Amino acid sequence: MKPLLICLLAGLVSACGFEPLGLWPALLAALVVLLGLVVRAPTLRSALARGWWFGVGHFTLGLNWIATSFTYQANMPAWLGWIAVVLLALYLAVYPAIAAGLAWRHGRSDPAKFVLIFAAAWTLSEWLRAALFTGFAWNPLGVALLPTSVARLAAWVGTYGLSAVALLIAGALALLLVRERRAALLLLGAIGGATLLAAALAGGAPQPRPIALRIVQPNIGQEDKWQEGSAERHLQRLALMSGYPGDEPRLLLWPEAAVTSPLEDGRPDPFYRARALQLQRALARLLGPRDLLLTGGVTLRSTDGIDATSATNSIFAIGRAGVIARYDKAHLVPYGEYLPMRPILSAIGLSRLAPGDVDFDPGPGPQTIALPLVGKVGFQLCYEIIFSGEVVERGNRPAFLFNPSNDAWFGGWGPPQHIAQARLRAIEEGLPVLRSTPTGISAVIDADGRLLNSLGWRQAGVIDTLLPAPRPPTLFARFGNVLPLLLALLLAAAAIAVRRKQR
């Protein structure tokens, strides 16, 4: 079988290491195959091609949920979704190709050096993938290690550093196959020792705070959510599932865009502003005197003095007296929340995947907002949670992160992948993450990334529990993505040391 075809197949197998399949040994096995094929490549061009074809298989299968999202856009045929998946995979495969090319160019003379360079290069390539062209940080390799104890190392080196660890484990297995036992045992021993040390330093789980919370998952699908005339019916469902206020204060959490009618309306007609204010008051009447509701909603803006020209995807904090604060989503989804090159794409019949004729404006970025009942809260709206090192306002640390989301248009593969990445943010930052989604997966994630409570896909229900407590700031929380980049430099320096020892 030709090497390029084997790389493509290995890439497909590697995607099975992520949720919903969670076969992380399959990922490691696929990486062993990739390492072996790249190091044997006869030329740099061949090495780049092998890394690229691996990436094509990896991203095409892993991102198949994007094809499902296209089925919710009436003007687009379903087959166009698969074209989008393949085109995106063809671009994203450039990053594994870069890592393969760097490893071949600088490390092929020695197996141990090759492994170290590959891990360093892969770390850098994932960081670049998350940063360039607005970034697409979905499913870095480290996410697949979440079911293992090694995932604890994300608190030290972040997700991109954890991806380097995945490469090093696979590299150690590859070294065993070529009888480089000493180097393999050194790598595995270092990773095992670091994992045990991280577990020992973490200590016991912090006790929850005595604050009652209720997460509501109404199971309102994307096909129903934006139907004309459905807003009041859906709001009644959310209100009924939220229950009646009692004597004790509660924190209520609703999903992204749970309220589809504008909660703030900047159009000049007073009718629209009055209707938004009436809606705010209706939500406030659902609450007890000390209750707090955090809900996804939208605002409309007008710059032409006539009609709505833009919007924000927002989280509203609402108390008995009305709206207390608002967070606006900063990291928007291309084609979902805004349409790049709108005049050209609109002219050929393409539009946003999400309903609406106006684009969303980005907010200022991660924010911590002090609120009654719970204190400091950090907000990450849906897609934003996947960006390692970019979820907390530095210097103003919250007690937990609220991550409302709408995964209803992500098919069966998207939601479990999404929550896995939210769990890694909890480990990295040492903060609980609370998720409320319309169709799943809603969850309470503790500061160690463990699922304390969850509601499955397409399941209606509520989660009643106490608010988890944060841990002290982790090493990653203090220094962010400087740490995985330093790890990459350390691995490169170790590779140079290997070369000098050879000489």
Q: Where are the alpha helices (DSSP H) in 178-248?
A: 181-202, 222-225, 231-242
What is the structure's pLDDT at 189? 95
Please check whether residue 333 lies inside any domain of the structure: yes
Q: How many residues belong to the chain?
A: 503
Residues 273 and 357 in one domain: yes
Residues 169 and 240 in one domain: no
Parts of the chain with a pLDDT under 50: 347-348
Q: Check which CATH number belongs to the domain holding 457 and give it.
A: 3.60.110.10
Angle (CA) 258-264-265 rounded to 5° is 120
Q: What is the DSSP letter of 500?
A: H
Residues 113 and 146 in one domain: yes
Residues 396 and 484 in one domain: no
Tens-place pLDDT, residues 88-113 = 999 999 999 999 999 999 988 899 99
Q: What is the distance between the terminal CA atoms of the chain, rounded to a whole angstrom?
A: 36
Please check whether residue 383 lies inside any domain of the structure: yes
The verdict on pTM exceeding 0.85 is yes
Question: In degrees rounded to 5, what are phi and psi of residue 158?
Answer: 70, 180
What is the structure's pLDDT at 332? 87
Please check whether residue 262 lies inside any domain of the structure: yes
Question: What are the DSSP calls for 317-375, one per residue?
Answer: EEETTEEEEEEE--SPPBTTTB-TTHHHHHHTT---SSS-SSPBPP--S--EEEETTTE
Tokens of 44: 């740099």
Residues 380 and 323 in one domain: yes
Residues 132 and 24 in one domain: yes
Please check whether residue 168 lies inside any domain of the structure: yes
Please check whether residue 475 lies inside any domain of the structure: no
Tens-place pLDDT, residues 131-171 = 998 899 999 999 999 999 999 999 999 999 999 999 999 99
Burial environment of residue 469 by CB neighbours within 10 A (0 to 12, 13 to 18, 19 or more): middle
Residues 76 and 195 in one domain: yes
Of the candidates 474, 291, 436, which has an alpha carbon nearest to the alpha carbon of residue 374? Answer: 291
Is 501 marked active-site? Answer: no
Please give the tally of structural domains in the chain.
Answer: 2
The bridge status of strand 375-379 relative to strand 368-371 is antiparallel
Catalytic residue, chosen from 113, 329, 384, 429, is: 329
Catalytic residue, chosen from 180, 256, 337, 384, is: 256
The bridge status of strand 368-371 relative to strand 250-253 is unpaired
Taking the C-alpha atoms of residue 461 and residue 119, their distance in angstroms, rounded to an integer, is 43
Neighbours of 205 (CB within 10 A): 14
Residues 192 and 299 in one domain: no
Catalytic residue, chosen from 337, 382, 390, 429, is: 382
What is the structure's pLDDT at 23? 97
What is the structure's pLDDT at 348? 47
Residues 148 and 234 in one domain: no
Please check whether residue 265 lies inside any domain of the structure: yes
In which residue are the tokens 């007008």 written? 302
Residues 257 and 404 in one domain: yes
Give the domain extent around 464: 209-470
Please check whether residue 16 lies inside any domain of the structure: yes
Please check whether residue 220 lies inside any domain of the structure: yes
- The pLDDT mean for the chain works out to 90
Residues 466 and 485 in one domain: no
Residues 137 and 214 in one domain: no
Is 256 marked active-site? Answer: yes
